[in-house]
Amino acid sequence: MLIVAECEQDQDRKCHPLQDIYRLVTVMESQGVQAETLLAGSDIQLQDLTTPDARASFNQKLRVFRNAVSHASSPDIGLIAGQQTHFADFGFMGYALMSADTFEEAVQLGLNYIRLAGPVLQKSFDVEGNIARFEGIEILPLEDLLSFYCEYWFGSVYTLCCDILQRPMQNHCMQFPYPAPKYVDKYRELFNCDIEFNSPKLRWEFYASELQEKLPSANKLTVTMCVQSCENMLAALQATDDIAAQVQAFILQSPGKFPGAEQVASHFNCSLRTLNRKLSESGQTYQKVLDNTRQNLAVRYLQQTSMKIEDISTLVGFSEPANFYKAFKKWTGKTPIEYRNDAK
């Protein structure tokens, strides 16, 4: 059961709801940081935080996150803010999750409507044997904010899941693609499981038996009403989605074994000629979308892992490292080794 939840690809498109920004402002104000300080330079207005239809872009959110990290009194601000997130913060989606029949249904609903929460990472969910796992893929570069966002996301989702179950979850392990912070004990205290750092994956594993758990607040009528509201909001949000973003999201479902243009066209139930025309109308070609996807993945692996260049080459779809070196220098003006050294 593999479920992939796409995220927005355009860094400047204002399509992200502001719930996470609102929660972060609330937490930072409790630390004595004014909302205006947190929003400085983002072009997000204070009144936007309480306007249901207000939206922010990826770049605007990153500016707020960077301000939070700069002004926080505690380095673990992501974990702190995450733990103060509860189901009501997610609006209709949160109430739908709380009212689902089983935890598995709640997980599926959450992934179906995750766009309403303004995700920054592409999310996926899978079950293998007795282990269920969430995984995040960095489509757009978070750079120095990766650890903050991962702490905020995992902290929020874990707290939400505990709300839904009305008890702590039984986690198996968590993996993070960056070095262990000095406050690693805070991770273990919150998640109560094995924690791995410098991992090639951002992954949270828990025992699949949790999925069959009947939820204490199950209510079919509430789920039906909330799902309808979520559908309406999602339709409005997706109205202007462009084909290039959809193609990139499909490509990322098979890292290292990227599909050809014909396979992509088949996935979207159109001819190759139609796919090329739609991409051209948005100023793209399939090769440009593929190269952009490969570049973003390669940059993430070089910046955030100690993986060998040869292994990164394979993961981004090159059978020969020499071809990867040539392509990466064309994209960035640097060799992979130069880029990694400069990023240290």
pLDDT tens sequence across 202-251: 999 999 999 999 999 999 888 888 887 887 677 566 544 567 777 877 77
64 located within any domain: yes
271 located within any domain: yes
CATH number at residue 317: 1.10.10.60
More confident residue, 252 or 34: 34
On whether both 89 and 15 belong to a single domain, the answer is: yes
On whether both 188 and 261 belong to a single domain, the answer is: no
Q: If you write DSSP's letter for every residue of 215-279 in order, what string do you get?
A: PTT--HHHHHHHHHHHHHHHHHHHTT--HHHHHHHHHTTSTTSPPPHHHHHHHTTS-HHHHHHHH
Sheet with 171-175, edge to edge strand ranges: 3-5, 122-128, 131-137, 202-207, 171-175, 194-196
Number of domains comprising the chain: 2
On whether both 255 and 178 belong to a single domain, the answer is: no
71 located within any domain: yes
- Could you list the residue range(s) of the whole structural domain that residue 268 is in? 242-343
* Boundary of a domain, candidates 190, 212, 234: 212
237 located within any domain: no
Proportion of the chain in helix, strand, coil states, percent, rounded to 5: 55, 10, 35
Q: Kindly report the pTM of this predicted structure.
A: 0.68
182 located within any domain: yes
257 located within any domain: yes
On whether both 132 and 83 belong to a single domain, the answer is: yes
Helix 19-30, helix 146-165: angle, nearest 10: 100
Confidence of residue 78 (pLDDT cuts 50, 70, 90): very high
